Structure 1
Amino acid sequence: MPWSLLARSEASHLNGLETFPSWSIANLAGDFAKIDHRKLNILSLSFIGLRILYNAIYAKQPTRLHGAIRNFV
């Protein structure tokens, strides 16, 4: 496994750790606001699925140009 892939994988993991507190607070706020549990679960699972997809894309982008494009999208 190339070192650059490991470095990007670690960076995507750290990015996920940065978003976790916001996601947790949003879930708690939705629960306290009495949002329908089914809807809240769908939103939470959607977020988790999109984070997995984001991490896979993040790790597989080999050049700086790809990284720059990712930052603007």
Structure 2
Amino acid sequence: MDYIDEVNGQLGEKGARDINEILEANRALFAGGELDEEAKDAFYQAVTKAYLSCKMEAKKTFGRKKKNTETESDS
């Protein structure tokens, strides 16, 4: 799968294997695991919230920094 190849390129073979295991476990959970629909929805929302939170933190840390135009014009 394309995403496994992409992860392999970024994180190496172990990272790709870990991602694949997580995805397989989630597929099994959603396909007919022992959770009812409400629990599956809650799990999905929690994973989505965690993803978005981590993405925003990464953007703050690694994203482009806005230049302070006020400081530059004062110089």
Rg: which structure is higher? 2
RCO greater where, 1 or 2, for CA within 8 Å and sep 6 or more? Answer: 1
Under a length normalisation based on structure 1, what TM-score does the superposition of the two structures give?
0.46
Under a length normalisation based on structure 2, what TM-score does the superposition of the two structures give?
0.45
